Structure 1
Amino acid sequence: MANDKTALLLIEYQNDFTTSGGALHGAVEANMAETNMLANSTEVVQAARDAGATIIHIPISFKEGYREITNHPYGILSGVVDSNAFVAGSWGAEITDEMKPAEEDIIVEGKRGLDAFGSTNLDFILRSKGIDRIAIGGFLTNCCVESTMRSAYERGYDVVTLTDCVGATSNEEHANAIKYDYPMFSRPMTGQEFVQELSGAEVADASRGY
């Protein structure tokens, strides 16, 4: 499979998650340290970009006051509102320096909920570019990443989940999602395994003369 038919989806690598002082960093800090997910992610992004894959950043943001969602949020969105996270235009909503988009990368706008397909034009972008394989990294392992994985699987994409490029609010939730949920809706692999797969695609394409 040619790498130009592959996209790397980067979900919510934003300061409020990734960086000390971020509104929700304290909730994910321990798991990030356990998995080294941010350093792993930066390596995978560069390797995927060099291999010719499409890099797609998918941040989440809300106008001040969170009027885009219900007046009575519950569950994970309640935590976002209560912590005043991901406010559009704020430092916390910015993509972290380690993962800053390159000029050729795509930034998907409009994510307001968990599934990256739900309130955005992500599916249109992927299909218009002829992409049929996606790999997913980001936050949270068992929330937005998992929701996007399930939706992509339902849409017929070849889905890879990058098990050491995702982060959760606890090691237990992280491990549970990867062990029990990811194999049902994706091909779980480490970032390096994915990079090796991309390298294999490059070699195969070269042997065909294109």
Structure 2
Amino acid sequence: MPLSVKLDPRDVGLLVVDMQNGFCHPEGSRGQAFGADAVKNPQDIIPNVTKTIDLAHRLDIPVWFTQQVHYDDDVLRSRRRIPSHLERRGVKLELCRRGTWDAELLDEMKAIKEDRDEVVVKHRSSAFFQTTLEVELRMKDVQVLVVLGTTTSFCVDSTIRDAYARDFDVVVPAECVADSDDAAHAATLASIERFHGVVTDLPGLTAALDG
């Protein structure tokens, strides 16, 4: 899936969404609640994500990691009248609680993260919702946002929609995003390609940046 445009690395930022123990590690809260299959796809993309981060570092493209953090005393969640997507499945998931191993970035992300990279702590699905991400992107003069990570149909999708609404160009290398639901993953990629950005692959992204 080659890109039809050449990308100038000076215009580009890389956003790595929620590559955390709770979402991706077999011993994290999602893996414990739903089994190893629930984290297989996020586990499978780790090598592609690290390759893309390596590429960004080599080309001096700024990198952001998001870190989802939930509070035990989040009164906003307790006020909701409609059950959450997890409650509707009969699951109580203590996901990415503040100060826990579950909320930490995967060891593979910690190993590749450099001091110049940023971490955006978020409390809801979109990396833009009440965070400093937008102003940080503007300060770095980012126009094209390359988005990686999990979960394709929720946090990745929410972030991409918000990026599009803020007039960023969005690029998604398909083998660098993952979902526990293959159908939802495919449908979201189709929606991104139709409305909110372009879907490519890692060779296509590399050629567009470094060709």
TM-score interval for Structure 1 and Structure 2 normalised by the shorter chain: 0.7 to 0.9
Distance 1:76 1:126 in 2: 31
Q: What is the TM-score with the length of structure 2 in the denominator?
A: 0.84
Q: Is the CA contact (8 Å cut-off) linking 2:172 and 2:199 kept in structure 1?
A: yes
Unmatched segments (≥5 aa) in structure 1: 201-210
Q: Quick one: which amino acid aligns to residue 118 of structure 2?
A: I
- Per the alignment, residue 15 of structure 1 pairs with 21
Distance 1:140 1:76 in 2: 14
Identify which range, 1-10 or 136-145, moves more after superposition: 1-10
Q: Say if 2:69 is the partner of 1:61.
A: yes
Q: Deviations over 1:38-68 (max 9, x none)?
A: 1111111111111111110111102233346
Root-mean-square deviation (Å) = 2.1
* Structure 1 counterpart SS, 2:177: strand
Aligned counterpart for 1:87 among listed residues 91, 94, 97: 97
Aligned counterpart for 1:148 among listed residues 153, 156, 159: 159
Q: Say if 2:148 is the partner of 1:137.
A: yes
Unmatched segments (≥5 aa) in structure 2: 1-6
* Structure 1 counterpart SS, 2:68: coil
Distance 1:70 1:157 in 2: 34
- Per the alignment, residue 123 of structure 2 pairs with 112
Q: Is the CA contact (8 Å cut-off) linking 2:66 and 2:120 kept in structure 1?
A: yes
Distance 2:130 2:76 in 1: 11
* Structure 2 counterpart SS, 1:175: helix
Displacement after TM superposition at 1:143 (Å): 0.8
Alignment of 1:1-210 (within 5 A): 1-25=7-31, 26=35, 28-32=38-42, 36-67=44-75, 69-72=77-80, 74-76=83-85, 78=87, 82-100=92-110, 101-109=113-121, 111-200=122-211
Q: Compared with structure 1, are the counterparts of its residues 165 and 76 closer, same or farther at alpha carbon in structure 2 (3 Å cutoff)? A: farther
Q: Quick one: which amino acid aligns to residue 64 of structure 1?
A: D
Q: What is the TM-score with the length of structure 1 in the denominator?
A: 0.85
Percent sequence identity over aligned pairs: 26
Identify which range, 172-181 or 153-162, moves more after superposition: 172-181
* Number of residue-to-residue matches in the alignment: 196
Displacement after TM superposition at 1:196 (Å): 2.0
* Structure 2 counterpart SS, 1:82: coil
Distance 2:127 2:75 in 1: 19
Displacement after TM superposition at 1:18 (Å): 1.3
Q: Is the CA contact (8 Å cut-off) linking 1:11 and 1:58 kept in structure 2?
A: yes
Q: Quick one: which amino acid aligns to residue 104 of structure 1?
A: R
Q: Is the CA contact (8 Å cut-off) linking 2:42 and 2:149 kept in structure 1?
A: no
